[in-house]
């Protein structure tokens, strides 16, 4: 059986016509083939297995209040709060249930660890929304679109929402 007849995506020239039992680990020029570094007999190279290049320069955002001082990065997947970021130790009395619950789960999972008068992120953690990230950091309800700010003082809202609405107009 020939590989090119099994898959709908084109194969690299080095694999064109190669039979399943003889899939090489290197191309004809001796260079390693792309992908995940190996080729299983039933799973030839496919671009979806390539490593995703992460940006080298991060655009950091900051959230602070009382004893909290957190640093993160806004991505298309959510807001990543970096390890070492500090959160207020206690929630305010008026904190809603979802804020208390999110912090409780992160403590149980070992993501938030007590360190003196603050909680500290033991590992990077991604939040689906900037507001949830800000609420966890500050221990209260928070609009993350205005609480998270870039070094120049602009908010996430100014950089991502207002800028895109101007482009849409």
146 lies in the same domain as 91: yes
User: What pTM was estimated for this model as a whole?
Assistant: 0.64
Residue 30 shares a structural domain with residue 64? no
**Domains: count for the chain:** 2
pLDDT at site 169: 52
Identify whether residues 135 and 79 lie together within a single domain. Answer: yes
Domain boundary pick from 28, 53, 78: 53
Helices (H), 11-158: 97-108, 130-138, 144-147, 156
Q: Is the same domain home to 3 and 67?
A: no
Distance (Å) of CA 167 to CA 59, 73, 146:
21, 23, 20
Whole-number pLDDT of residue 10:
52
Strands 68-75 and 60-65, by their bridges, are antiparallel
CA dihedral 85, 91, 96, 102 (to 10 degrees): 40
User: Do 48 and 73 share a domain, yes or no?
Assistant: no
Task: Dump pLDDT digits (tens) for 84-128.
Answer: 999 999 999 999 999 999 999 999 999 999 999 999 999 999 999
Supply the range of the domain harboring residue 105. Answer: 60-168
Same domain, 96 and 26: no
Which residues in the chain show pLDDT less than 50?
A: 1-9, 11, 15, 18-25, 35-43, 52, 55
């Amino acid at each position: 059986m020939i590989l090119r007849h099994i898959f709908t995506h084109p194969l690299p020239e080095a694999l064109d016509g190669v039979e399943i039992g003889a899939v090489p680990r290197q191309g004809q020029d001796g260079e390693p083939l792309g992908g995940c570094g190996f080729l299983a007999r039933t799973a030839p190279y496919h671009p979806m297995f390539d490593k995703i290049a992460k940006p080298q320069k991060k655009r950091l955002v900051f959230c602070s209040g009382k004893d909290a001082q957190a640093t993160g990065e806004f991505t298309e997947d959510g807001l990543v709060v970096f390890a070492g970021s500090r959160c207020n130790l206690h929630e305010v009395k008026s904190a809603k249930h979802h804020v208390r619950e999110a912090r409780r789960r992160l403590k149980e999972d070992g993501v938030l660890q007590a360190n003196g008068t603050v909680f500290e992120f033991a590992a990077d953690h991604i939040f689906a929304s900037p507001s949830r990230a800000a609420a966890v950091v500050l221990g209260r309800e928070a609009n993350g679109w205005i609480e998270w700010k870039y070094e120049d003082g602009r908010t996430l809202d100014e950089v991502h929402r207002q800028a895109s609405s101007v482009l849409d107009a």
